[in-house]
Structure 1
Amino acid sequence: MKILRTPDARFANLPDFAFTPHYCEVTDPGGTALRIHYLNEGPPSAGPVLLMHGEPSWSFLYRRIVASLAARGHRAVAPDLVGFGRSDKPADQSDYTYERHVRWMSDWLAAARLSSITLFCQDWGGLIGLRLVAAFPERFARVVVANTGLPTGEGFSEGFQRWLEFSQSTPVLPIGQILAMGCRRSLSEAEQAAYEAPFPDESFKAGARRFPALVPITPAHGSVAENKAAWKVLEGFTKPFLTAFSDSDPITKGGERLFQDRVPGTKGQKHVTITDAGHFLQEDKPDEIAGLIHEFIASTK
């Protein structure tokens, strides 16, 4: 497995991102060592809030939420998935599978020794993060899901179909523009450039290219059986479970109902819709999300 590593200079002077990088090394079952980057802000003794990003973003997506949670006394932990941000990037699309992503982040979670976790997950952060909940339910105290799902081969939205076709056909994957199009507010040129920072050229984008094709939207896709098994665990998950989907996401709109119908921990929770927010609701409403997480923890201790 050939590994690419984005030069540190690409991450200098990013807006609102003066965080100290932290790294953890995991070993792929094939024997390749992979360095995973994560943010770790706030009191070390506080219960961790695990913030998991999706496609094609990285922990920069959570910069304002991390700062706000840390200021409120929480420990905010935001990893970069393998292939994204400051984490290592396997060079070939074939190196990326759903199950490898789950294995890489499972090993990272164990190495980071996180427990009593509050998970906030969006997009692929949910597809992977909810698999972690299913694999290690004892490590998680509560969950917030936003604009995500755990598909088991039963179809997809028109919005996702358009995204899949575009991502697999465009010769240049415009990461910054993709983030901008998925927000209701206008991202500055500096913010769009920050989303491009992990990818010096197209060779670094194999993970971003591959992700849409890995979503198990048909019975023939990989990981359908594994996701069905994860749902069985979630259907017995009684710890607090909150939905906070946005009102303007064409890809996941309405997805909160599936969690509310199937996860017992959702019962009695004050589920919210984040208004005037697109797919990347962390960019549109970071203060509201940080406040929501803070109140959710306070009300469910």
Structure 2
Amino acid sequence: MEPEPENCPGVGTENAGKSSACAGCPNQRICSDPNTKIVDPGKELVAKSMSEVKQKLLVLSGKGGVGKSTMVTLLSRYMARAYPDLNFGVLDIDICGPSQPRMLGVEGENVHQSGSGWSPVGVDDNLCLMSIGFLLGSTDDAIIWRGPKKNSMIRQFLSEVDWGALDLLILDTPPGTSDEHLSVISYLHDDNSSDTLRAIIVTTPQEVSLLDVRKEINFCKKQKIPILGVVENMSTFRCGHCGTESEIFPAKTGGVGAMCAEMEVPYLGALPLDPQVTKACDNGDDITNMKNVTTDALGDICQKIYRCF
């Protein structure tokens, strides 16, 4: 096949050979023929690049603002500190809102390129990060891209980054079930690797958030992605002065625990809204240096996740 056009919808997708970007492409007839089995050449490149990455974990959320990126930061920091003999990586595929460089304390670092590809930025001895945030001229730059360009960037992150040998790669995704999710699943998930790509879902306890989480759970089931469990974030508010906990998101229908029982997915635990943890993430500080009820709860959740691998 000839090289794909810049805005190619992707071979094997519903719009392959049918979108406006396909007009004039020498592959248009082949891609649009339903009887032609098209194999995306990028998938082979991804498989080769990720051959030493043992496990991949998608961190998902139905809605924005529920603390999904915070959970990625906390989880990666805790795992790296709790299991120093293992190697961990974080891939930030929230293309329009990359927050991991700041939250992991490596904002402003440069990505270097070698013969083996881009080198992810080192956060700790056994923790590295790759994000489009490292490739922007300024933290205020807006990324105004259509789906195909986002998908191309994700493919580059998966196939052109020298991840090396990792025990676990944690992927920070945007909210919902959009192009980014379908793209990363198409490259990392198939019948032969179904046990290496798994997911956890982060939500808050109020009903408006749980409605979207149900969609996220059904998305994973349709895509045959095993769900390790659901984390209830901001279950209560923990006062930074007196330590008193207050409920700010009332769980009128039983909260996350009841929903997990109904949807038949594991309930991993609850994390309070903690000003100390929020401040640490804003400053890029290592939360594992803290010791309070939040980090204790995080430790329990991380151990449950670790035991699933």
TM-score scaled by structure 2? 0.38
Larger Rg: 2
TM-score scaled by structure 1? 0.39
More helix by share: 1
